[in-house]
């Protein structure tokens, strides 16, 4: 399978998982997108969507995925992503807040973004 075929299959798998909305599956999907997706804008959109999920572990992993994307791509949409991380820093779940702190550190390191905590 060629690289474009692998990425198309990956994207189709992720989008199908999001449609199924199984939190157990989405916990892994959120991290895989951050670590393996090759199209920055699509990956950013997936992580942003999953960062609003009802399940705290999905939200936390999606926010962590944004940190991975910052490291891998060196840029993200500041108007959209910074607000998502700021919201996650105040999430009711300690897990989400922990993942948001880690993502904020990645965004500081790789994108020079600042956050108030």
Assigned domain for 105 exists = yes
User: Is 70 exceeded by the pLDDT of residue 81?
Assistant: yes
- The tally of domains found in the chain comes to 1
pLDDT computed for residue 56 by the predictor:
98
Region of 74 on the Ramachandran plot (φ > 0 left; ψ -120 to 50 alpha; else beta): left
Assigned domain for 116 exists = no
Quick one: pLDDT band at residue 117, thresholds 50, 70, 90? low
Assigned domain for 11 exists = yes
Give the whole-angstrom CA distance, residue 91 versus residue 21.
21
Domain that residue 67 falls in: 3-111
Assigned domain for 39 exists = yes
Assigned domain for 43 exists = yes
Assigned domain for 104 exists = yes
């Amino acid at each position: 399978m060629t690289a474009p075929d692998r990425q198309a299959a990956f994207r189709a798998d992720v989008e199908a998982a999001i449609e199924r909305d199984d939190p157990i599956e989405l916990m892994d999907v959120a991290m895989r997108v951050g670590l393996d997706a090759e199209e920055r804008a699509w990956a950013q959109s997936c992580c942003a969507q999953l960062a609003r999920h009802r399940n705290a572990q999905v939200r936390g992993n999606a926010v962590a995925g944004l940190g991975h994307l910052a490291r891998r791509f060196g840029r993200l949409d500041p108007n959209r992503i910074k607000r998502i991380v700021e919201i996650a820093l105040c999430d009711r779940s300690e897990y989400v807040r922990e993942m948001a702190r880690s993502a904020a550190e990645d965004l500081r390191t790789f994108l020079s973004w600042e956050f108030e905590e």
